[in-house]
Chains A and B, each alone.
Chain A
Amino acid sequence: MAIAVELRHISKRFPGVIANKDVSIKVESGSVHALIGENGAGKSTVMKILYGMQRPDSGEILVNGTTVHFKKPADSIEAGIGMVHQHFMLADNFTVLENIVLGYEPSRGGVIDFNAARVKINEMAAAYGLTVDPDALVEDLGVGQRQRVEILKVLYRGAKILIFDEPTAVLVPQEVDELFAALQGLRKDGLTVIFITHKLDEVLRVADDVTVIRAGSTVAEVKASEVSAKKLAELMVGSELPSPEIHGSAKRSDIALELSQLTVPAESGARNLVSDVSFTLHAGEVLGIAGVEGNGQSELIEAILGLRNYTGTVIFKGEPLDDESVSERRDMGIGFIPEDRQRQALLMSSPLWENRILGHQRGKPVMNGALIDRKATMADTIRIMQEFDVRAPGPDTLALALSGGNQQKFIVGREMSGSPSLLLASHPTRGVDVGAQAAIWNELRAAREKGMAIVLISADLEELIGLSDRLIVMLRGSVTAELDPAKTTPESLGSAMTGAA
Chain B
Amino acid sequence: MLEKGKLSGMRRTIIIFFGIIAILSVIRIATGASDLTSVGTAHAALLLSVPIVLAALGGLFAERAGVVNIGLEGMMIMGAWAGGFMGSKHGPWVGLLAAIFFGAVGALVHAIATITFGVDHVVSGVAINIIAAGLVRYISTILAQGGSWPGPSQSPDVEPIGQNGLPILSGGKYFGWQSPDILNSIGEKNWFLISDISRVLRGLTGELSYVTMIAVALVPLSYFILWKTSFGLRLRSTGESPIAAESLGVNVYVMKYWGVLVSGGFAGLGGGFLAIVAANHYQENQIGGRGYIGLAAMLFGNWRPGGLLAGSALFGFADALQLRDSAAIHALLLLIIAFLLFASWRSFRKGQKVATIVAIALAGFFAWFFIAFDELPGQLVTMTPYLATLIVLSLASQRLRGPAAAGLPYRRGGLK
A91 close to B (CB within 8 Å): yes
B240 close to A (CB within 8 Å): yes
Asked if B233 contacts A112 (CB within 8 A), the reply is: yes
Rounded to whole angstroms, the CA-CA distance of A103 and B230 in the bound complex is 8
Specify which of A87, A89, A107 lies most central, judged by the most chain B CB atoms within 10 Å of its CB.
Answer: A89
Asked if A90 contacts B244 (CB within 8 A), the reply is: yes
Asked if B240 contacts A93 (CB within 8 A), the reply is: yes
Rounded to whole angstroms, the CA-CA distance of A110 and B235 in the bound complex is 13
A2 close to B (CB within 8 Å): no
Q: Please judge, given known A-B contacts A110-B231, A112-B230, whether A85 and B247 are in contact too, CB under 8 Å.
A: yes
A285 close to B (CB within 8 Å): no
B203 to chain A, nearest CB (A): 34
Asked if B230 contacts A73 (CB within 8 A), the reply is: no
Rounded to whole angstroms, the CA-CA distance of A14 and B415 in the bound complex is 13
Q: Please judge, given known A-B contacts A91-B237, A91-B240, A92-B240, whether A103 and B245 are in contact too, CB under 8 Å.
A: yes
Q: Mark A89-100, 1 if CB is under 8 A from B, else 0.
A: 111111000110
* B228, B230, B404, B416: the one within 8 Å of A92 (CB): B404
Rounded to whole angstroms, the CA-CA distance of A103 and B247 in the bound complex is 9
A481 close to B (CB within 8 Å): no
Asked if B229 contacts A102 (CB within 8 A), the reply is: no
Asked if B247 contacts A89 (CB within 8 A), the reply is: yes
Asked if A112 contacts B229 (CB within 8 A), the reply is: yes
Rounded to whole angstroms, the CA-CA distance of A89 and B236 in the bound complex is 15
Residues of A within 8 A of B415 (CB): 53, 87
Rounded to whole angstroms, the CA-CA distance of A107 and B233 in the bound complex is 12
Residues of A within 8 A of B404 (CB): 91-93
A4 to chain B, nearest CB (A): 21
- Give the secondary structure class of A's interface: loop
Residues of A within 8 A of B403 (CB): 93
CB interface residues, B 230-267, toward A, < 8 Å: 230-231, 233-234, 236-237, 240-241, 243-250
Rounded to whole angstroms, the CA-CA distance of A142 and B76 in the bound complex is 44
* B237, B243, B246, B413: the one within 8 Å of A94 (CB): B237
Residues of B in contact, count (CB < 8 Å): 24
Asked if B233 contacts A98 (CB within 8 A), the reply is: yes
Rounded to whole angstroms, the CA-CA distance of A153 and B249 in the bound complex is 12
Residues of B within 8 A of A101 (CB): 233
A462 to chain B, nearest CB (A): 29
Range, interface on chain A: 20 to 34
Asked if A102 contacts B233 (CB within 8 A), the reply is: yes
Asked if A93 contacts B244 (CB within 8 A), the reply is: no
A186 close to B (CB within 8 Å): no
CB interface residues, B 194-252, toward A, < 8 Å: 228-231, 233-234, 236-237, 240-241, 243-250
Rounded to whole angstroms, the CA-CA distance of A385 and B48 in the bound complex is 63
Q: Mark A136-153, 1 if CB is under 8 A from B, else 0.
A: 000000000000000001
A111 close to B (CB within 8 Å): yes
Rounded to whole angstroms, the CA-CA distance of A153 and B237 in the bound complex is 15
Rounded to whole angstroms, the CA-CA distance of A112 and B232 in the bound complex is 10
Residues of A within 8 A of B11 (CB): none
CB interface residues, A 25-81, toward B, < 8 Å: 53-54, 72-74, 77
Asked if B241 contacts A153 (CB within 8 A), the reply is: no
Residues of A within 8 A of B416 (CB): 14
Asked if B241 contacts A107 (CB within 8 A), the reply is: no
B6 close to A (CB within 8 Å): no
Q: Please judge, given known A-B contacts A91-B237, A110-B231, whether A103 and B249 are in contact too, CB under 8 Å.
A: yes
Asked if A104 contacts B248 (CB within 8 A), the reply is: yes
Asked if B241 contacts A90 (CB within 8 A), the reply is: yes
A269 to B, closest residue via Cβ = B350
Asked if B241 contacts A91 (CB within 8 A), the reply is: yes
Residues of A within 8 A of B240 (CB): 91-94
A83 to chain B, nearest CB (A): 7
B245 to chain A, nearest CB (A): 7
Sample of 14 A–B contacts (CB below 8 Å): A73-B248, A74-B249, A89-B244, A91-B236, A92-B240, A94-B236, A98-B233, A99-B244, A102-B233, A104-B248, A105-B230, A107-B229, A110-B229, A112-B230
Chain A contacts to B: CB under 8 angstroms:
14, 53-54, 72-74, 77, 83, 85, 87, 89-94, 98-99, 101-105, 107, 110-112, 153
Q: Which 9 residue pairs across A and B have the least CB separation, nearest first? A: A74-B249, A103-B248, A89-B244, A91-B240, A91-B241, A105-B230, A89-B247, A110-B229, A103-B249
